[in-house]
Amino acid sequence: MKQQSLGVVVALIVALGAGYWAGAKRTAGGGGATAPAATPAPAAEASAQKPRKLLYYRNPMGLADTSPAPKKDSMGMDYIAVYEGEDEPSAAGEIKISTEKVQKLGVKTELATVRELARQVTAAGRVEIDERRVHTVSAKFEGWIDRLHVNATGQPVAKGQPLFEVYSPELVSAQREFVVASKGVAALKDASAEMQSGMKQLADAGLTRLRNWDISEEQIKALAAGGEPKRTLSFRAPAGGVVIEKKAVAGMRFMSGEMLYQIADISAVWVLADVFERDIGAVKVGAGVTVKINAYPDKSFAGKLAYIYPTLKAETRTVPVRIELANPGGLLKPGMYANVDLAVGGAQKVLTVPTSAVIDSGTRQVVLLQKAAGRFEPRAVKLGQRSDDYVEVREGIAEGDTVVVAANFLIDAESNLKAALSGLTAAPAASPDKAGKPSVSHQAVGTLDAIDAKNGSVTVTHAPVASLNWPAMTMDFILANPGLVEKHKPGAPIAIEFVERGPGEWVITKMDAKGAASAHKGH
């Protein structure tokens, strides 16, 4: 029995060994078996995950102050960690940002290319009455309004249509004088030439007086034909249009020259549009214009640019222009808002970049050029004509240059772009150091005379500063961080590094006991 059991055990061991040998053979021969999930990763993959070496922490405002440990500046901002490979010096005026931060910021670039840039200027406007088509109705004598024929503002009138009737003692007297003189001329037809001439002069004087008072020819002819003087006379519309203002009221007394009606002909109107200052140079008198009105989205009105006003609105930096439009049917109502498209010439091939690539400070325009991975250079440019998406670049870059079109303002915030842009100004260049590169900061040794903790400043008597051609003197400095003087007392010898943050504003970024080594010198 024991022998039988022993045989079974041996058989099992042999079977297990055969199975293990077959499985190993299939794995080595590529029979489709996969490696166990717990197989360790190659050494190369492990080395790829090796953490970067932290070098130091730099000032978040771009000052030359560094720290071996995390800290905050005087405004409570955290210092920025600098890792190995990120502290490589960049060329003058360049901005360097790690590739990881570039990806986080979402930086996008595009090539500066030559393309056809169609010119069209769009402006907002409003419909106005043509000032040359406005007529004022007033009397040249005193009197009373006896009756109104047109008694509402906005009422349409035709040329020659009666507006109102007036009574005036002067008018009645003038009519009687004219009637008497006219009858005298007829009665003295057989008299001497001298008497006829005198009577005719009286009749002509009366006629001229009535005409000067704008009495209609129809009424004058009726008087000359022997008619009796009328108590009231009618005033007629001098032109067709609509009444835009009415001051006349039945029974009111009016004075000579007082405005009683204003009539405007709106068969043609003006559109006054505001063109931005940057576009006004491309706009020409006589250019075709397309006007769209919100009230009629399916209609467009064609006109021409008639006049460019000689003044600029300082509040909006726009120049008014005048467009003349026909107004059949009176669809265009004075006061309506209008969208104006002005044609300013055909398309031209010019060097362009997307409009989003331009950082406009108000005094100059700048684009960021990508020089290499993580390296950018601010470049001042001169711009020309614009379209909706692109702008012409006349100076500053060349075709094929890579410009940043997205996140350029974030690069500005991340890298203190203002400091880099200062190199584009006409200010004198910084004194070169021993390596021949422009100095970012200056060094001096001296004595700490006083500390003003309240104002964050110190008084230092320093030795001559060769990089600025300064003699030895005593002067005040601003502290980049109040912690710079924690280990120093007045009267102590010190070595300082300082920069000019603004005209005549000198800021100490580093302070050590005289003779102490400067940590991370050159960063």
The pTM assigned to this predicted structure is: 0.46
Which one has a higher pLDDT value, 464 or 22? 464
Nearest to 337 by CA among 289, 297, 288: 297
Residue 267 is encoded by which pair of tokens? Answer: 């068969």
Nearest to 499 by CA among 27, 2, 65: 65
Fold match between domain 125-130+266-343 and domain 442-513: no
With residue 333 as reference, give the H or E element that holds it. Answer: none
Helix H segments across 191-240?
Answer: 193-212, 217-224
Which one has a higher pLDDT value, 484 or 29? 484
Residue 235 has pLDDT above 80, yes or no: yes
What does the alpha-carbon distance between residue 270 and residue 306 come to, in Å, rounded to a whole number?
9
Question: 135-264 maps to which CATH number?
Answer: 2.40.50.100
Residue 197 has pLDDT above 70, yes or no: yes
Q: Which segments within 26-159 are labelled E, that is strand?
A: 54-58, 66-67, 80-83, 95-96, 108-111, 113-117, 120-129, 134-138, 143-148, 156-157
Nearest to 340 by CA among 127, 48, 50: 127
What does the alpha-carbon distance between residue 210 and residue 216 come to, in Å, rounded to a whole number?
9
With residue 378 as reference, give the H or E element that holds it. Answer: strand 375-386
pLDDT at 92: 53
Q: Determine whether domain 442-513 maps to CATH 1.10.260.40.
A: no
Min mean pLDDT across 59-68, 270-279, 485-494 is at 59-68
Average pLDDT of span 422-428: 42
What does the alpha-carbon distance between residue 60 and residue 413 come to, in Å, rounded to a whole number?
10
Q: What does the domain layout of the chain look like in residue ranges?
A: 1-34, 107-118+348-424, 125-130+266-343, 135-264, 442-513
Q: Determine whether domain 125-130+266-343 maps to CATH 3.40.50.300.
A: no
Residue 63 has pLDDT above 90, yes or no: no
pLDDT digits (tens, 9 = 90+) for 356-385: 888 876 667 888 888 877 788 888 898 887
pLDDT digits (tens, 9 = 90+) for 244-262: 999 999 999 999 889 999 9
Min mean pLDDT across 89-93, 236-240, 250-254, 423-427 is at 423-427
With residue 414 as reference, give the H or E element that holds it. Answer: helix 408-415
Average pLDDT of span 270-282: 89
**Contact present, 181 and 209 (Cβ < 8 Å):** no
- Provide the residue type at 266 as one letter: I
Average pLDDT of span 281-295: 89
Residue 355 has pLDDT above 90, yes or no: no
pLDDT range class, residue 417, cuts 50, 70, 90? very low
Q: Determine whether domain 107-118+348-424 maps to CATH 3.30.160.20.
A: no
β-strand partners of 425:
none
